[in-house]
Amino acid sequence: MSPRYGFIKKNLPWLVSLIFGGLLIAMTVDYVKQAEALAQAEETTKTSESTDLVLKKELTAIVEKLVEDFNTADPVKYKSYFHMPHAKVSKTQVEWMDDENSPLVNFEKLRDSGWIKSTVNEIEVIYATEDKGLVRLNFSRINKDEEVIVTTDGIYTFTKINGKWGIAVLFVGAKDLPLN
């Protein structure tokens, strides 16, 4: 019997333990790395979901306040929600709104249509990042008898410029919705 074989035979339990112990350690290290990577991914997802939820709440609150301020019929207050210039799509052509001195809504014309207030039916934040958002507002215009004059969607493209959210593009679905 060769001396090497005798050494192996004599130390076989120890060598097997050493090999399996090394494998066990390697597997444990690998498992710990995978668990840490999974925890990191879950934390990133939670942070991302948390940020997404915060942005959606922020944009929803802005649109709710926009409707509230629209109902005051104060053209300056309403205009404060828009970046200048911005685009408005309420007819078949795109209107480029860049006159700082021109009101965005003719509230007299709006009142003449029977409007006394607008109500929010639904707000859906379709897309939101730290500096861009796309929001659908389904709203109704209401007359003095609390009857619905019209219900439609407004799609708002928001951008954050110098830390302030503002409307960059406004799309209104209804055809005969007096704005200006």
CA distance 140 to 4: 91
Q: How confident is the model at residue 154 (pLDDT cuts 50, 70, 90)?
A: very high
Q: Tell me if 29 is assigned to some domain.
A: no
pLDDT in tens, 3-37: 665 665 665 565 556 565 565 566 666 666 776 76
Q: Is residue 95 part of a domain?
A: yes
Query: Which stretches within the chain are classed as H helix?
Result: 3-70, 75-79, 107-112
Residue 1 in any domain: the answer is no
Domain count, the chain: 1
What pLDDT does residue 90 have?
81
Specify the DSSP element, H or E, that contains 155: strand 148-161
- What are the structure tokens assigned to 57, written together? 């709440």
What whole-number distance in Å separates Cα of residue 170 and Cα of residue 88? Answer: 5
Question: Using an 8 Å Cβ cutoff, are 62 and 78 in contact?
Answer: no
Give me the torsion for CA of 78, 80, 83, 87, rounded to 10°.
Answer: 10
Q: What pLDDT is stored for residue 81 in this prediction? A: 97
Q: What is the extent of the structural domain holding 108?
A: 44-172
Rounded average pLDDT over 146-174: 94
Does residue 73 register a pLDDT over 90? yes
* Domain-embedded: residue 167: yes
Percent of the chain with pLDDT over 70: 71
Residue in the structure block whose two tokens are 């306040």: 65
The pLDDT assigned to 40 comes to 72
76 located within any domain: yes
Quote the mean pLDDT of the chain: 84
pLDDT > 50? residue 108:
yes
Please tell me the predicted confidence (pLDDT) of residue 67.
98
Closest CA to 178 of 91, 100, 93: 91
Which domain CATH number covers 86?
3.10.450.50
| CA angle centred on 96, ends 152 and 114, rounded to 5° | 35
Tokens coding 120:
């929010």
Residue 48's pLDDT is 62
36 assigned to some structural domain: no
Is the pLDDT at 180 greater than 50? The verdict is: no
CA neighbor of 141 nearest in space, from 154, 132, 152? 152
